[in-house]
C-alpha cells in the first residue's frame, strides 16, 4: 500500500510503498477514508536526529477515520464495513487513568512502549491503518469522513481544554483564543456552542481572523505587542476568564498572561515551547496555568455528538495521498485555512 512516511531527519515526508498490514489477535484493520494534517507533525519533523522521539521511518497521521476492513482473532463489538473514527492517544486500558477513559494520561504507556498512531506507531496517512484495540474506535454514525476526521484531535483537544474551564465561562465572561488555525477555529465554535462567553480571537493572519469571525468569534484582534491592551479595553479592563493559547510561543504566552482576569484559567495548548511563570504578583490573583494533552475517550464521543447536532463544523481542504507533502508545506507556510485532510482514495 501507499503511505506517507517521515524517513530522514530534516527531509520532507515521502510517499512510499510499504507492505499491507494484517490484523493480529485483538487488532482491527481500517481502510483509511480520511487523515488530518496537524501542526504537531511539523513540530515532530523539526526535532534534531539526536533528540528524535520515535523510530524511523514513521508513517504520519494521528487523526484517522476509516472503514473496518478486517478483524483480528477474537475481536468483538465492531464489524467489517463499519465507519469509525480513531481515538488516538492510546494507553494501556487498565491503569487508573485509562479506567476513567483518560488514556491520554495513561500511567504506563511509556513503560509499555505504547504510542499513538502517527506518533510512534504507523499512522493514518496510508491506505490502511492497524488499530490495536476496538475500544479505540468510535462509530461515525452518519458523519462525513473528511468533516469528522479533524474532530479526533483538532476537535478533541480544544474540547478537553474548554470543558475544564466551563464553570468560569458564565454570562458576562470573556474567552480568548490565540491562534485561529486547525484547533483554534474549532475552539471558537466549541466556546459558542457550550458557553455564553464573549469570544475574542487573536491571530497574525487576516485570513485566519476572517475565518475566526465566520465561525463565531465576537471580536477578532491582530496578535501583536498591542493585542493584550486591546483585549483589556474590550473587557473594560477586567481581562478574560479563560485564555486558550494554540501557539504557545514566547509572545503569545506573554499575551495570554497579560489578558488573564483574576481567577482566570490560562491553557497552553500550542507546543511552541514557552512557559508562563506563576508566583505572587506575577499574574492576577489565583490565575491557574495548565498545559493539557489531547482528550479522553468519552470526550471524543461527545465531540462527535456535537458535530452531529450541527454545533461544530470544521473548515477543511482536501489533498490526495500523493499531494500530502504539499499539505505539510502549506501548513508550515501558514497557508492552510482550517484543517488540511488527506483522502487516500
Ligand atoms: P495551525 O497551524 O493550524 O494553527 C496555528 C495558528 O496560529 C495559525 O492560524 C497561525 O496563523 C496562528 N499563529 C501563529 N503565530 C501566531 C501568533 N504569534 N499569534 C497568534 N496566532 C498565531 O496549527 P494547529 O494544528 O491548530 O496546532 C496548533 C498548536 O497546537 C500547535 O502548536 C500544535 O502542535 C499544538 N497541538 C497541541 C496538542 C496538545 O494536545 N497539547 C494537540 C494538537 C496540537
Ligand atoms: Zn495533533
Ligand atoms: Zn493506562
Question: What phi and psi, each to the nearest 5 degrees, are found at residue 93?
Answer: 90, -10
For ligand 1, is residue 205 a contact (CB within 6 Å)? Answer: yes
Q: What is the 3-state secondary structure (H, E, C) of 17-29?
A: ECCCCCCCCCCEE
Distance CA 77, CA 136 (A): 12
Looking at the fold, whether 146 and 195 belong to one and the same domain comes out as no
* Domain count along the chain: 2
What is the pLDDT of the chain when averaged over all its residues? 98
For ligand 1, is residue 224 a contact (CB within 6 Å)? Answer: no
Looking at 272, 290, 308, the residue that finishes a domain is 290
Looking at the fold, whether 172 and 113 belong to one and the same domain comes out as no
* Predicted confidence (pLDDT) per residue in 274-294, tens digit: 999 999 999 999 999 999 999
For ligand 1, is residue 155 a contact (CB within 6 Å)? Answer: no
Task: Give yes or no for residue 230 having a pLDDT over 90.
Answer: yes
Task: Give yes or no for residue 345 having a pLDDT over 90.
Answer: no
Question: How many CB atoms within 10 Å of residue 28?
Answer: 26
**Contact (Cβ atoms closer than 8 angstroms) between residue 103 and residue 112:** no
Nearest CA to ligand 1 atom 35: 270
Residue range of the domain that includes 177 = 158-290
Looking at the fold, whether 146 and 164 belong to one and the same domain comes out as no
Q: What is the mean pLDDT of residues 292-311?
A: 98
Ligand 1: residue of 35, 38, 151, 249 to mutate (most ligand atoms within 8 A of CB) is 38
Q: What is the mean pLDDT of residues 170-179?
A: 98
Looking at the fold, whether 53 and 130 belong to one and the same domain comes out as yes
SS3 content of the chain, % helix, strand, coil (to 5): 30, 25, 45
Looking at 247, 263, 290, the residue that finishes a domain is 290
Question: What phi and psi, each to the nearest 5 degrees, are found at residue 136?
Answer: -90, 15
Residue 110: all three cell numbers together: 511509556
What percentage of the chain exceeds 70 in pLDDT? 100
DSSP string, 184-207: HHHHHHHHHHH---EEEEEES-HH
Looking at the fold, whether 241 and 322 belong to one and the same domain comes out as no
Q: Coil, strand or helix: which one is 152? A: helix
Looking at the fold, whether 84 and 204 belong to one and the same domain comes out as no
Q: Say which CATH number the domain at 310 has.
A: 3.90.180.10
Looking at the fold, whether 6 and 148 belong to one and the same domain comes out as yes
In ligand 1, the atom with minimum distance to the C-alpha of 205 is 11
Q: Coil, strand or helix: which one is 15? A: strand
Ligand 1: residue of 246, 268, 290, 341 to mutate (most ligand atoms within 8 A of CB) is 246
Ion ligand 3: residue ranges with CB closer than 5 A:
91-92, 95, 98, 106, 108
For ligand 1, is residue 294 a contact (CB within 6 Å)? Answer: yes
Ligand nearest to the CA of 95: 3
Distance CA 150, CA 148 (A): 6
Q: Say which CATH number the domain at 231 has.
A: 3.40.50.720
Burial class from Cβ neighbours inside 10 Å (0-12, 13-18, 19+) for residue 294 reads buried
Specify the pLDDT at position 319.
Answer: 98
For ligand 1, is residue 157 a contact (CB within 6 Å)? Answer: yes
Looking at 290, 309, 328, the residue that finishes a domain is 290
Distance (angstroms) between ligand 2 centre and the Cα of 231 equals: 28
Cα distances from 293 to residues 230, 270, 340, in angstroms, run 29, 10, 21
Looking at the fold, whether 133 and 235 belong to one and the same domain comes out as no
Looking at the fold, whether 185 and 104 belong to one and the same domain comes out as no
Upstream peptide bond of 169 is cis (omega within 30 degrees of 0): no
pTM of the model: 0.98
Cα distances from 332 to residues 188, 253, 264, 293, 337, in angstroms, run 22, 20, 31, 21, 12
Looking at the fold, whether 58 and 169 belong to one and the same domain comes out as no
Ligand nearest to the CA of 92: 3
Looking at the fold, whether 8 and 123 belong to one and the same domain comes out as yes
DSSP letter, residue 53: -
Size of the chain in residues: 345
In ligand 1, the atom with minimum distance to the C-alpha of 249 is 18
Task: Give yes or no for residue 50 having a pLDDT over 90.
Answer: yes
For ligand 1, is residue 63 a contact (CB within 6 Å)? Answer: no
Distance (angstroms) between ligand 2 centre and the Cα of 69 equals: 25
Looking at the fold, whether 42 and 117 belong to one and the same domain comes out as yes
* Predicted confidence (pLDDT) per residue in 65-110, tens digit: 999 999 999 999 999 999 999 999 999 999 999 999 999 999 999 9
Ligand 1: residue of 183, 202, 206 to mutate (most ligand atoms within 8 A of CB) is 183
Q: What is the mean pLDDT of residues 224-245?
A: 98
* Predicted confidence (pLDDT) per residue in 113-169, tens digit: 999 999 999 999 999 999 999 999 999 999 999 999 999 999 999 999 999 999 999
Distance (angstroms) between ligand 2 centre and the Cα of 228 equals: 27
Amino acid at each position: 500500500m501507499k503511505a506517507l512516511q517521515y524517513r530522514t531527519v530534516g527531509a520532507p515526508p515521502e510517499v512510499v510503498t510499504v507492505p499491507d498490514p494484517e490484523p493480529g489477535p485483538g487488532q482491527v484493520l481500517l481502510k483509511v477514508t480520511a487523515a488530518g494534517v496537524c501542526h504537531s507533525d511539523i513540530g515532530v519533523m523539526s526535532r534534531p536526529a539526536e533528540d528524535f522521539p520515535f523510530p524511523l521511518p514513521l508513517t504520519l497521521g494521528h487523526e484517522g477515520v476509516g472503514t473496518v476492513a478486517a478483524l483480528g482473532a477474537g475481536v468483538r463489538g465492531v464489524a467489517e464495513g463499519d465507519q469509525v473514527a480513531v481515538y488516538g492517544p492510546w494507553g494501556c486500558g487498565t491503569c487508573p487513568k485509562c479506567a476513567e477513559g483518560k488514556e491520554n494520561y495513561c500511567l504506563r504507556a511509556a513503560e509499555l512502549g505504547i504510542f499513538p498512531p502517527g506518533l510512534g506507531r504507523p499512522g493514518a496517512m496510508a491506505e490502511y491503518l492497524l488499530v490495536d484495540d476496538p475500544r479505540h474506535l468510535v462509530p461515525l454514525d452518519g458523519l462525513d469522513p473528511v468533516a469528522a476526521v479533524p474532530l479526533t484531535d483538532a476537535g478533541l483537544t480544544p474540547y478537553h481544554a474548554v470543558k475544564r474551564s466551563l464553570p468560569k465561562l458564565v454570562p458576562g465572561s470573556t474567552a480568548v483564543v490565540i491562534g485561529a488555525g486547525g484547533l483554534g477555529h474549532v475552539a471558537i465554535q466549541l466556546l459558542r456552542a457550550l458557553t455564553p462567553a464573549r469570544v475574542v480571537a487573536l491571530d497574525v493572519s487576516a485570513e485566519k481572523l476572517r475565518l475566526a469571525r465566520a465561525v463565531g468569534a465576537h471580536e477578532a484582534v491582530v496578535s501583536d505587542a498591542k493585542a493584550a491592551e486591546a483585549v483589556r479595553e474590550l473587557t473594560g479592563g477586567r481581562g478574560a476568564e479563560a485564555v486558550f493559547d494554540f501557539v504557545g510561543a514566547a509572545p503569545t504566552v506573554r499575551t495570554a498572561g497579560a489578558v488573564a482576569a483574576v481567577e482566570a484559567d490560562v491553557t497552553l495548548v500550542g507546543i511552541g515551547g514557552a512557559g508562563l511563570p506563576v508566583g505572587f504578583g506575577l499574574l492576577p490573583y489565583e490565575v491557574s496555568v495548565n498545559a493539557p494533552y489531547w482528550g479522553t475517550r468519552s470526550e471524543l464521543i461527545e465531540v462527535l455528538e456535537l458535530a452531529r447536532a450541527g454545533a461544530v463544523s470544521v473548515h477543511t481542504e482536501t489533498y490526495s495521498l500523493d499531494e500530502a507533502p504539499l499539505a505539510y508545506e502549506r501548513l508550515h507556510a501558514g497557508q492552510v485555512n482550517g484543517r488540511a485532510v488527506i483522502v487516500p482514495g
